[in-house]
Homo-oligomer: A and B are copies of this chain.
Amino acid sequence: MNYPSKLVEEAVNEIAKLPSIGKKTALRLVLHLLKQEEAFTKSLTQALTKLRTETNYCTDCHNISDTAICNICANKLRDHSVVCVVEDTRDVIAVENTHQYNGLYHVLGGVISPIEGISPSELNIESLVQRISQHPEIKEVILAISATMEGDTTAFYITKKLQTFNVKVTTLARGVPVGSELEYTDEVTLGRSILSRVKYEQ
A198 at interface, CB cutoff 8 A: no
A31 at interface, CB cutoff 8 A: yes
Question: Distance in Å from the Cβ of A55 to the closest Cβ of chain B?
Answer: 5
Known: A10-B47, A18-B32, A47-B10. A89 touches B38 (CB 8 A): no
A119 at interface, CB cutoff 8 A: no
Interface magnitude class on chain A: 35 or more
Tell me if B31 and A41 are in contact (CB < 8 A).
Answer: no
Given A5-B65, A18-B44, A33-B52, 17 extra CB contacts under 8 A: A1-B97, A4-B71, A6-B66, A7-B47, A7-B66, A8-B55, A8-B64, A13-B47, A14-B47, A15-B47, A18-B29, A19-B29, A31-B90, A34-B55, A41-B49, A41-B51, A41-B52
Residues of A within 8 A of B (CB): 1-8, 10-11, 13-15, 17-20, 25, 27-34, 38, 40-45, 47-55, 63-66, 70-72, 88-90, 92-93, 96-97
